[in-house]
Amino acid sequence: MKQLAVISLAVTLLCPNLFSEPSAKEQFETQDNVLNRVYGELKKELEAYQFAIVQKEQRDWVEYRDYISEAQRGYEGTSDEEAQLEMAAGLTESRVQWLQAWKTAGEHEGLEGEYRDSYGGFLQIVKEGDQHYFALHVVRGPSFHLGIIGGKLRVNGHSAWFETRDEHDGKEAWLTFVPKEDGSGRIRIVSENARHLHGARAYFDGSYLRLGEVSAEDRKRVISGELE
C-alpha cells in the first residue's frame, strides 16, 4: 500500500493532469504536437536570449522525459509500451504548461506564486502580512524518491532562506532561494546539509519557474504547514 501511495504522489507531481482516455499512444501524440506548437510560438515571441535558454533546456528535458518514461516499462498491469507512453504523455503535458509560463516570465513582482522546475519539483510561496511561507514537494528519478519541506521564509529583498535543525544530530539544514539573472523570474533553490529531509535520490535544488497564483485552498495549507 505504501508503494502505491508513493506512485500516486509521483504521478500527481510529475504529471498533474494525466488522463486515462484515449489510448496511451494517442495521448502522447496529442501532447507532443501541442508541445511542438507552443515551442514554435516561443521562438517567435521571446527575445532571442530568452529563447536560447529555452532551447538548450528543452534538449536536456527531452532526454529526461525519455529516461523517466523508458524506466516505466514492465509495471504490472500495463504493457511495456503503454506504461512508457502514458508517462511520456503526462510529462509532456506538464512541460507544455511550463513552456506556456515563459510567455509571461519575469513579469510578476515579488516571491508569491506557484512554481515548477519541470523535473518533479513543485514550489508554492505565499505571503500573509509581512511573513512569507513556502511548501516544496519533489519527486525525483524513475524510482520516485520523495522530499517534502516547508515553513516560514526569511526574506531579504528578492532573496530568501530557510533553516531547520536535525532533531537527531542537531545539524542545521539550509535552503536558499535566489532569483536567476536570466530575465525569467525563476527562483533557484540551493540546499545545504538537507539530505536527511528527502529520499536518497531526491533533491530540492533546481530552477523553479512561476506558473501562476496559489489557490485559496492551498494558501491555507501552506500557511498552516499541512505538507502531506
What per-residue confidence (pLDDT) applies to 80? 87
pLDDT of the residue at 183:
83
All structural domains of the chain, each given as residue ranges with its CATH number in brackets, are 2-104 (no CATH), 113-224 (2.40.128)
Q: What is the pLDDT of residues 129-159, one digit of tens each?
A: 999 999 999 999 988 999 999 999 999 999 9
Kindly report the average pLDDT of the chain as a whole number.
Answer: 90
Model confidence pLDDT, tens digit, residues 104-133: 999 999 999 999 999 999 999 999 999 999
- pLDDT band (50, 70, 90) for residue 7: low
The reported pLDDT for the residue numbered 190 is 97
Q: How far is CA 147 from CA 178, 194, 205, 228, in A?
A: 20, 10, 11, 11
> What's the confidence (pLDDT) of residue 156?
94
Q: Model-level pTM?
A: 0.86
